Amino acid sequence: MTGLDDTPEPAVADLMVKAEAVHKHFGRLDVLKGIDLEVRPGEVMCVIGPSGSGKSTFLRCVNHLEKIDSGRLWVNGHLMGYRQKGDRLYELRDKEVSAQRREIGMVFQRFNLFPHMTAMENVCEAPIRVRREGKAKARERGARLLEQVGLGDKVNSYPSQLSGGQQQRVAIARALAMEPKLMLFDEPTSALDPELVGDVLEVMKRLALDGMTMVVVTHEMGFAREVGDSLVFMDDGVVVEKGTPRDVLTNPRHARTQDFLSKVI
């Protein structure tokens, strides 16, 4: 976006995510109606908005789990899902899309751990199977990551033996095991009992402080305010406003944002 000031537009290569006029529909339902967003390396962008506004769909488009209908979406300088030659776009093969997706870690509301694998096995699975990494190296990193998310004593536990918050922290460690450049979180704490939310947010906060680029769909306004560099309010398939969390939360410019915040804060 060219602002009123003289700051030049950052080039695609200098951004971690750039979405340009992204449209997505399901049948007759227009879910994303032209999303323009930019995430700088190291930025933590939080996304809020009412149910059905397109937040999850946008995250799924970022890692090309959903194909966009028009517009352009780059992650780490790569056009997601396509190769551009001249003015034309060519779809990448599945293998090439998987390679692009490896740069992106995703954590969902439901943790989707493999139930028959221990915490350690869950964390090591993708590096060993996808990256063909040696077991010893994968386990070494696995131990470090499980320690990092506060589960050093749970490496041999199965998901059924862990609380929801612990399972979600294993899911975060599992995503980090692929050494992503970008982490996407889709309401990572909203399925958790309230007393388990804090530990997961603490892990995410530390990740942010370590410099990870993150897009976080969340209803945790405290987290957005404290950890977010930017806050986006989406409604009905559009970005209504984006600003610093403080500005959006305490001084929303749009009636729709004010209305939403009055219901959730």
Instruction: Give the interface with ligand ATP as residue ranges (CB under 6 A).
Output: 26, 29, 31, 49, 51-57
For Mg ion, the closer of residues 56 and 168 by Cβ is 56
Whole-angstrom distance, CA of residue 119 vs CA of residue 256:
42
Tell me the angle at which helices 119-129 and 135-148 cross, rounded to the nearest 10 degrees: 130
Considering the complex, what minimum distance in angstroms separates the CB of residue 110 from ligand ATP? 12
Three-state DSSP state, 166: helix
| Selection from 195, 189, 188, 116 nearest residue 159 by Cα | 116
Selected range binding Mg ion among 53-61, 93-101, 129-137, 188-196, rule: CB under 5 A: 53-61
- Yes or no: say if 225 and 209 are a contact pair by the CB < 8 Å rule: no
End-to-end CA distance of the chain: 30
For ligand ATP, the closer of residues 55 and 141 by Cβ is 55
Whole-angstrom distance, CA of residue 190 vs CA of residue 146:
22
Residue 173, Cβ density class (10 Å: 0-12 exposed, 13-18 middle, ≥19 buried): buried
Whole-angstrom distance, CA of residue 17 vs CA of residue 71:
14
Considering the complex, what minimum distance in angstroms separates the CB of residue 203 from ligand ATP? 22
Q: Which does 201 bind (CB under 5 to 8 A by kind): Mg ion, ligand ATP, none?
A: none
For ligand ATP, the closer of residues 1 and 264 by Cβ is 264
Q: Which does 212 bind (CB under 5 to 8 A by kind): ligand ATP, Mg ion, none?
A: none
For ligand ATP, the closer of residues 80 and 234 by Cβ is 234
Selected range binding Mg ion among 54-62, 73-81, 148-156, 224-232, rule: CB under 5 A: 54-62
For Mg ion, the closer of residues 50 and 150 by Cβ is 50
Q: Which of 56, 118, 168, 257 binds Mg ion (CB under 5 A)?
A: 56
Tokens 């980090």 found at: 176
- Output the CA–CA distances (angstroms, integers) from residue 68 to 25, 62, 72, 101, in the order listed: 8, 9, 8, 15
| Both tokens assigned to 119 | 């915490």
Q: Is residue 189 a contact point for Mg ion (CB under 5 A)? A: no
Considering the complex, what minimum distance in angstroms separates the CB of residue 35 from ligand ATP? 11
Phi, psi of 253 (to 5 degrees): -90, -20
- Yes or no: say if 252 and 49 are a contact pair by the CB < 8 Å rule: no
Q: Which does 31 bind (CB under 5 to 8 A by kind): ligand ATP, Mg ion, none?
A: ligand ATP
For ligand ATP, the closer of residues 166 and 189 by Cβ is 189
Note the residues at the interface with Mg ion (CB under 5 A). 56
